[in-house]
Amino acid sequence: TISYQMKSSGSERGNQQLVAVVSLVNMVVEGLENRNHTMSVFLDLSKAIDCVDHKTLLDKLESHGIRGVPLDWLSSFLSHRSPVVQISYQLSKPVNLNYGV
């Protein structure tokens, strides 16, 4: 079993993602140790969800049985996105996104 001790200096979002990854690894290791069939599915959603509303996507995933740590990780990944554009030394103002990545 892998453990992770959260430190208060880290970003909350980064900690949530790390906890989700550690939890996934622990579930896989436990399954293998118990000689269970174990499988992980990794999806690159970067292009597939460029135009999809975050709430709609999360609701749809939950309706298909994605719950707990995997859904929490995706929610964390999608939340609080504020991209900026830099041209030379000029930065645009951040814009909150409710869709895409």
DSSP letter assigned to residue 74: H
Residue with the bigger pLDDT between 8 and 95: it is: 95
Residue ranges of domains in the chain: 1-40, 48-101
CB-based contact 30:1 (threshold 8 Å): yes
pLDDT tens digit sequence for 63-80? 999 999 989 988 888 887
- The span from the CA of 36 to the CA of 7, in Å, is 33
pLDDT in tens, 17-31: 788 888 888 888 898
